[in-house]
Structure 1
Amino acid sequence: MTTSRAVLVSCLLTLTALSFLSAEFTFPTLDSTEDLRRVFTDRSLSEQSLLLLHLFANNVRISKNNNIYPAFDPTNNFGNVYANRHACSSIPRIPRYVYEPRGLKNIPMENRARIVLCLYAVALQKFSFNDDVTALQSLRDQYDQNIDDTQLNDIINIWGRKQAPLGLLVSLIINRHGTEPTYEWKNCELQQIYVDLVTGDRGYVKILWRNVPQDLLNDDVAVVLFNNQLEPNAGDSYVYILQITSSEGSYDTNVALNEGLQARLHKYKKSGWFSSTVEEEICRGKELQSPDRVPVRTNRHIELQLFVRNGYSCFRVYIDDCDDWSSHFPNAWVGLYTSAGERTENYKQWQWVSKFTKGLNDGDYETLEHCTGTVIAPGLLAKFIVYEYFNIARTPLWPAKN
């Protein structure tokens, strides 16, 4: 273990320990470093650590469900809150009270504090949520090559594809590689087999596949579509089946695009001219997901997403507090656009947010939804509009490849 990794792991373990403490004990409200000193009087927590805890506490937000989120994007930058004119460009900048603390003039704090902050921020960057299995394998190879693909597959099954980097980080910290998987399925990408679902014509699913081994093709194999990852293999629970005879190819189906659709590779047996049997599962591709939601700039508790339902473009607004929602933007509306450069008034379709219907609760958020009559297609995006044509949020473009 290198020095930087040791410091990083120690920092993360400290934060984990503090989170467990907060679950067991009720602490008074902390408003200053003096309050922190009183809490940690009998604990071996250094003055430098108190200052860094104060720094992080002032740059997070806590949802109504007590989930904690950074007030900046750790995957993009460290935020301007760490300003320090004397810091070099390769180390994040921090407030003056951290690098020149009162009463600690003889302690070389400046670089030490920035380096600890840098390591924490780098961890957030490296292990941030994504569903790229190849990137996950690279992270594994960088930090612990003793975790094999079977164990990595277990981490993906337990944590989910998008949170798997966080699961890997936890495995590295507590050195638990042999955890029991929640489910027994295997991920195709870990076997270098690629099965993808993308946006086809008229809002239908297009299947792409490549690197299917010849020995599987010789025994008959099919790509089978299921409504979601939790759908069982038993019976006829699948929504579409396509026998494939080549290692690479594509096929346009008549299945409407929906969030959660998943392609699985199965052994396949024809039992007559018009009948067939889906047999043993080989591996699974990732679920079809809409692009990530984006925050509405004037309010951190509102987010916007463009999603698909039955092949049509839909809007979803995530709201932290529905009761207070209408007072923020009584005349807000969301528009659908055909390109990022389209003028705000040149929308394809639109609807008042007040006329959206209530969607499912997302844990930290209530949701409001509206589906348009426009078929989903690559290049479409949604904008959140207030004050006539003032745009305060814009979703990513709908991708050609989901």
Structure 2
Amino acid sequence: MMRMSRRVTSCCVALFLAFTSVSAIQRLNSINDLKRIDFGHTVPKHSLLLLHWFANIIDIDSNNVIWLTFNPNNEDYGSHHYGNYDNLLDPLPYGNIRYYTVDNLNQATSSAQLPNYVVHPRGEYEGRNRDRIIFRVREQNTGWQTLRRIDRVYITQHYEASGIQGTYDPDQTYEITTNLLIQIREFSVGQNLWSLEHLRDRFGSNANDFQLRDIRNTWGNLACLGLLLFIVIQDRYNRNQHSYRPQHEARGNSQLHSFDNFPATRQSHWNTDTSDTCTIVGLILLIVMILVIFGAVSSGGRIR
């Protein structure tokens, strides 16, 4: 009886740890959500370069289905199987489905195949090879080809402490939705540089014409990527600085930015509230499950 109780307790604890690690992952649904991440401090800026590359190497069809365009089993772009042994992500459902990770820059295949702006980024965007993309793939063999459909995408990073190198930090792991990938694809490399004005206005950036001209001169054919980085990193800094101004100062411009920020702010609060609610409900269900199991074990002991 005592041994059975200990086994039940161990299983419940393991289940609890697995649940809490998965439920803690935040979902990023838009570029406005990306602005909430502290790139350059808790998360390497290089993650944005890697995410930009990934969003533009995959294929997204008219039904918003994501298709993988390379074979991770051949270690294309340095990709390889990820076993999820630390229960960072959801357990795999039944079927021919696996997790993969990509971007170990120390591998020869990734260094040779990934674009130069990812392998040799500008100094401030170097990431010490800690950031990774994890994606979940469902394979379907049609007889003459294998189709690989992606149904989950995450950005994450290794722990910085060398003693636990090789495991990922759940506090800095984020799920990337299809909608966010589609938005990032609008900043693809080689676009008409004059589309910067359109992208600036579409995503509510406060970049002025002088800053756009500087982005063009600095980034060249990567100007759209440079604008994406400006929107996610610099706009956030500028708006945080702006929020400390007295309310009567620059009233016209501040009101404009306040209305631009309102939908993103509301969405961020909604995401946080929803995540907290799901976590609480899940914990309640877990507690009920533990009580039911212990009740069953106790009843069995009394019957004997």
What TM-score, normalized by structure 2, do the two folds share?
0.25
> Which structure has the highest strand share of the two?
1
> Which structure has the highest helix share of the two?
2
Higher relative contact order (CA 8 A, sep 6+): 2
- Higher Cα Rg: structure 1 or 2? 1
What TM-score, normalized by structure 1, do the two folds share?
0.19
